[in-house]
Structure 1
Amino acid sequence: MTTRLNRRGFLASTGALAGGLAFLGPRDLLAQEGGTLRFALSTYPPSFDAWASSGTAAGTIKLLIHRGLLGYAPDGTLRGELAESWKVDDTGAWIFKLRDAKWHDGTPVTAEDIAWNVLEAQKSDSAAHFQGQLSAITSVETPDTKTVRMVTTEPLAVLPGWFADFNMPMIKKGEPRDTTLGAGPFTLASTDRGVSLSLKAWEGYYKEGLPKLSGIEAIVYADENLRVAALEAGDVDLIEYVPWQSMTKIEGNDELTLQTTNGPFMYLTFNGSRPPFDNPKVRQAVAHAIKREDIAAAAFYDRGGALEHLPIPEGSEFYNPEFKDAWNYDPDKATALLAEAGYPDGFECTMLSTAQYGMHQSTAEVCQAYLSMIGINVQLDLPEWSTRVQKGNEGSYDLAVMGTAASNNDPDGLSSVLDGSLPASFVRSFALETPEISALFAKGRATFDTEERKAIYKEMEKIAIDTTPMVGLSWRSQGYAMKSGVSGFTSMPGQLIFYSGTTLEETMFG
């Protein structure tokens, strides 16, 4: 017999009712005594747009400058940020109680600020990463300066997670979307576009004793080998996107520390606005044409693994073992599917990727080689990252290599890469409608019972495998490396690896 949880039972089981958070630490740990950390970014942020998705480097900078209503603790649990508590009431509305926090200009964060963020980001022309999800919020009430009540079309179990995402931080009412005036632990002091960003600790941060650093110099090392060399030479203290070929060497260096997490994944997206990839049989053919083990070897030096289904990890309670090899390597099946789709002789197309990240280029090259074996002749387009993002958003490609992590560890986090009803984004297929999948995501969001949610997402996975709006390619180990004297930085678990920048507020030397 299935145990049914009411809304409060669901929240209690996930820790959401424990929204209060005590921030410990004496003021004698003020950042002025903490030194400046030199952090090697893999790219300069393509945009400072608070609500846009522009990649991990941009997300990390947002996590330094801004804060959302909620966030994630180093162990991956949901915690309060600008909101000190949150709960769902008996009508299904979510109520957030704000803490005493200030914007960088010293003015208080108010409920009116929060309401403005939601109403602006949910506008149909906002192009915000969460615009589609936020459209389910029918009204935002502010009964007092510290209370925000969000009313939705139906009760939504996953709504708090939207406001923990680094692409939905809160900004002061009336500020432009690319403002660097936030409520986070650091302020942006200066920039050298394309080269570096200088951030300084903010004394008015609402967490007592944080940040522990006096500043962060974020320096761009687009070349992954130069990024590692800079760490080894002592020119920087911490690097992101450790190249997989360097991980073993770093692990063997007593002066360095490597932290890795399994969770991110590589996949293919499609342009569904025109032939041939508007045809699901062609997309299925691609899915069966590629031998994933070669991607894991070539791109990740075997620090990864084949992904022949949706990126739901084996350890998840939502994992479905019967689908584990649904997109298995089967060139004969791929060839037959192409013929059924009307392309017995194959075709030519362009694959978008980037040369800025070795794993993206290597993945594209392996895919190109295997697709050629079934008659799909692929020309690679490998611009630098910001151009790759732009082309992906515009649909300037036929199929594309992408790598990311889900928005969170819940299956709803996969909506960002699967749900075709959401606004155009480089992280998912372009102009490819997914009505059944979209409906199941909506159903899952409105369901608080875990067993019912498992059944919903199992049905969603089956439909995704059959219609193939994306193709899973490879899991990958993601790594940060640092000097042994750096402490407090945490590589966060699973799909939350790209939120690790949150822990820079706790990072220090010694």
Structure 2
Amino acid sequence: MNRRGFLATTGAAAGALSFLGPKALHAQDGGTLRFGLSTYPPSLDAWASNGTAAGTIKLMIHRGLLGYGPDGTMRGELAESWEVDDEGAWVFTLRDATWHDGTPVTSEDIAWNVLEAQKPDSAAYLQGQLAAITSVETPDEKTVRMVTDEPLAVLPGWFAHFNMPMIKKGEARDTTMGSGPFLYDSADRGVSISLSAWDGYYKDEMPKVSNIEAIVYADENLRVAALEAGDVDLVEYVPWQAMDQIEANDELALQATDGPFMYLTFNASRPPFDNPKVRQAVAHAIKREDIAAAAFYGRGGALEHLPIAEGSEFYNPELANSWNYDPEKAQALLAEAGYPDGFDCVMLSTAQYGMHQSTAEVCQAYLSMIGINVQLDLPEWSTRVKKGNEGTYDLAVMGTAAMNNDPDGLATVVDGSLSPSFVRSFGMETPEISELFARGRATFDTEERKAIYKELEEIAIDTVPVVGLSWRSQGYGMRANAEGFTVMPGQLVFYSGMTLEETVLG
């Protein structure tokens, strides 16, 4: 597909999804939905990445230019349409929407968001990607034109990400001033966050409930018990050992999807993990099936390459087992790297999520078999995030989903040119991978992109910016009377909080 064909397809899709009619009466008597969070958000910084719980709260308060529907299709949010113009710039046309203080969302607000998030000290998760935008033009209050040096096929996906919501222009970031379906009311730090329906929301008859009380149940067993007892209506991060019992309970329902994955990151700023042969040794030392069994009770699968799903058009079967379990090869690689007797190191994970701890314990056991003696560091989640961002570890267990279902969505996991983040290896330079991501973004032809991402995957298998470990099922549990909430497909599972605007208590 050439650029003009891509423009036509995108324009048609954008037009078809401009379905949000005039604002009508909103639900104000829909009751209170009680949502069981897995952790208290480390921060509600609009543009920073702080995990799924923080992302879910942000998806209640905020909206981006674009978003995703329950079926995973990209759709307009603050932008009612978007297209590439003849000069290769992306043009977004804004709908009539207002901030929570009642003032209109304008093109100047959007331009401010982009320019602020581009700054090196912004802590924005997408700061590196947004740096490719060379200027933002605002010809009128409803039009935003983003100019780039090269055409960027993937740019709309950046503005659908829940870590790139739009906030009101101001002297400082007001991370609670959004345009989404719910108002931030109050918080009892570490315990709960209270939100209420906003009657100025731009979608007809949404949100469906009057209030949401997000209550923290850090212990996964207590979270399930609260759902079973009726203390909450909906919970995230259903532990895998509890999925069968929820499915068997007529008063409950389980929605789950495959897509998220577990992997290892490295501190590549110092020995021994600055050496790619050591990272290769780790990749071949671990038997992934044991992680799927121990951490996910069989609701997962081995991941022996970059996390590109078998159903993707970018999947390369000949590369799928490149990091296969081969302890003899792992020991030989360690010897080549100058560590024939192994070494001691610290593995960062967290005890707050059983899957993270179980994955770390399996990795610890297998690495010990090739002489790598691992000491586990298992703090609560917010400390784990902080240590990951600071590089206070040697290697670390991480679990996430890609930014979206396109291979470019993996840039946030493996592209070392992006600003530091706990989801990526620390101090890892990836010049060839970074260059290939850039080429892929600038290409509209699907076959060309397949070749680019295959080359990228081959380089990643050799240089090991991360080590894939296991696919996993991700589940939400709910009372049978909670309707309208939808778990989004594949890598978009953590966007599921968008559908809270449609959730109703029957």
Whether TM-score is above 0.5 comes out as yes
1:93-108 mapped onto 2 (5 Å cutoff): 93-108=89-104
Matched with 2:208 is 212
1:90-129 mapped onto 2 (5 Å cutoff): 90-129=86-125
Matched with 1:239 is 235
Any stretches of 5+ residues in structure 2 without a counterpart?
A: none
Is the CA contact 1:19–1:85 (under 8 Å) kept in the aligned structure 2?
no
Distance of aligned partners of 1:259 and 1:11 in 2 relative to their CA distance in 1, 3 Å threshold: farther
1:294-443 mapped onto 2 (5 Å cutoff): 294-443=290-439
**CA distance, structure 1, for counterparts of residue 209 and residue 217 of structure 2:** 22
**CA distance, structure 2, for counterparts of residue 312 and residue 195 of structure 1:** 37
Is the CA contact 1:16–1:86 (under 8 Å) kept in the aligned structure 2?
no
Which amino acid counterpart does residue 400 of structure 1 have in structure 2?
Answer: A
> Secondary structure, in 3 states, of the residue corresponding to 2:28?
helix
Which amino acid counterpart does residue 483 of structure 1 have in structure 2?
Answer: R
Post-superposition shift, 1:27?
4.0
> Secondary structure, in 3 states, of the residue corresponding to 2:462?
helix
Matched with 2:276 is 280
Matched with 1:169 is 165
1:466-481 mapped onto 2 (5 Å cutoff): 466-481=462-477
**CA distance, structure 2, for counterparts of residue 304 and residue 65 of structure 1:** 32
Matched with 1:485 is 481
Please list the CA deviations of residues 139-158 of structure 1 after superposition, one character each: whole Å capped at 9, or x if unmatched. 00000000000000110000
> Secondary structure, in 3 states, of the residue corresponding to 2:241?
helix
Post-superposition shift, 1:177?
3.0
- 55, 60, 83: which is aligned to 1:64? 60
Is the CA contact 2:14–2:75 (under 8 Å) kept in the aligned structure 1?
no
Please list the CA deviations of residues 78-117 of structure 1 after superposition, one character each: whole Å capped at 9, or x if unmatched. 0000000000011110000000000000000000000000
**CA distance, structure 2, for counterparts of residue 163 and residue 418 of structure 1:** 20
Q: Between 118-127 and 401-410, report the one with greater CA deviation.
A: 118-127
Indicate whether 1:447 and 2:443 are aligned: yes
Matched with 2:15 is 18
Any stretches of 5+ residues in structure 1 without a counterpart?
A: none
**CA distance, structure 2, for counterparts of residue 360 and residue 251 of structure 1:** 23
Q: TM-score, normalised by structure 1?
A: 0.98
Is the CA contact 1:24–1:209 (under 8 Å) kept in the aligned structure 2?
no
Q: What number of residue pairs does the alignment pair up?
A: 505
**CA distance, structure 2, for counterparts of residue 142 and residue 316 of structure 1:** 37
- 39, 42, 45: which is aligned to 1:46? 42
> Secondary structure, in 3 states, of the residue corresponding to 1:236?
coil
Q: CA RMSD in A?
A: 1.2
Distance of aligned partners of 1:278 and 1:65 in 2 relative to their CA distance in 1, 3 Å threshold: same
1:73-152 mapped onto 2 (5 Å cutoff): 73-152=69-148
Is the CA contact 2:22–2:202 (under 8 Å) kept in the aligned structure 1?
no
> Secondary structure, in 3 states, of the residue corresponding to 1:31?
coil
Post-superposition shift, 1:11?
4.2
Identity of aligned residues (%): 81
**CA distance, structure 2, for counterparts of residue 325 and residue 469 of structure 1:** 17
Is the CA contact 1:27–1:209 (under 8 Å) kept in the aligned structure 2?
yes
Post-superposition shift, 1:176?
3.2
Is the CA contact 1:256–1:484 (under 8 Å) kept in the aligned structure 2?
yes
Is the CA contact 1:45–1:58 (under 8 Å) kept in the aligned structure 2?
yes
Distance of aligned partners of 1:26 and 1:130 in 2 relative to their CA distance in 1, 3 Å threshold: closer
Post-superposition shift, 1:355?
0.2
> Secondary structure, in 3 states, of the residue corresponding to 2:344?
strand
